[in-house]
Amino acid sequence: MREKIDALTQNLNRTIVGKHEAIRLVLVALLGGGHALLEDVPGVGKTLLAKSLARSLDGKFQRLQCTPDLLPTDITGTNIWSPKSGEFTFLPGPVFANVLLADEINRATPRTQSALLEVMEEHQVTVDGVSRPVPQPFFVIATQNPIEYQGTFPLPEAQMDRFMLSLSLGYPSADEELEMLQNLQQGIKVDELQPCMTLEEVAQLRHLCSKVQVETSLQQYILELVRTTRQDEEITLGVSPRGTVALQKATQALAFLLGRDYAIPDDVKFLAPHVLCHRLIPRGGRNARSVVERLLRAVPIP
C-alpha cells in the first residue's frame, strides 16, 4: 500500500506547491479516521487542497459553501412531499458524500453549524426521527479565515472538538510562488487529476494505521500532556478525552505515513500543537500554540 500513499502525495503536490507538511497533516486526518480544519487567510490554497484530495480519491465529493442564510436541512437533507406517490421522499443533503468540503464554515449560523455535529462524530444523519448512515469512508475538510470576523460565527467548543487536527498553509516562499505561476502556464488543473486511491484502499489503510504499536510509556506521555491542559493556570478549558484519543490515532497515522509500524515521542511532539491547540481555551488572550509548546517542554519525554 506504500505505493498508493506515494501516488496520492504526488497527486496533491501537483496542485499544492511546497506545502508538504500541510499535505502530510491532511493525510494524517484522513487515515486516522478524523476530520481536518484548515485555518488561514484567503487565497493560500485551502479549498484547492481539499478539492485535490477529493479528486484523488475515487469517491463522491460535495462542496458546501457556508453562508449566514444556510439552513440545517441544506446540509443534512430533508423530506419532500411527492404528490405522485402520495408520500414523503427523503432528499439527501451534501453530507451524503465521502469527502465533504465545508468552505468558510464559520460563516454559517450556530444552528446550521450544529447540523454537522452528529454526522462528524457518528457518521449518520437523523431527520424527522429517522437515522441514515452516510457513505464510508466519510471525511470532512472545513476551512475558515481566522483573521476576518465580520459576518462570522465562531465555532463552539463542541464543533472544534470534532476535528482531529487543525492546520494552516501559510504564504508560499518566492520560489514556490514562482512555481505556481509556471504551473499555471502549463495548465495543471484540479479537474485533470486522476483518482489514485479507491475507497476500499482508504479503509484498508485506516485499518493498518490502527495497528501501529503505541507503547504504554508513550500512551502515558500523551495522557500527561492532555491532563496538564486541564490543570494549567493559563488555560480556561482543557482538552477533552476525545482529544486524547485523537492524539493517539493521529500519532499512529503519522508513524504509518513515515513507514513505521510503531510510534515514537517525536510523532506526538510534532502533532500535539495541531491536535490540541484548537481544543483548548487559553486565559487572558494568550496564544494557544505557545501554551502547548510550553507544556511540551515541561512534560518529561519517555
What is the pLDDT at residue 108?
A: 92
CB 286 within 8 Å of CB 302: no
What is the pLDDT at residue 188?
A: 65
What is the pLDDT at residue 187?
A: 63
Give the model confidence (pLDDT) of 166-181 as tens digits. Answer: 998 878 888 878 887 8
Long-range contacts of 58-61 (CB under 8 A, 24+ apart): 58/195, 58/197, 58/198, 58/199, 59/97, 59/98, 59/99, 59/135, 59/137, 59/199, 59/202, 60/96, 60/97, 60/98, 60/99, 60/135, 61/97, 61/98, 61/99, 61/100, 61/101
Q: Which residues of the chain have pLDDT under 70?
A: 148-149, 185, 187-188
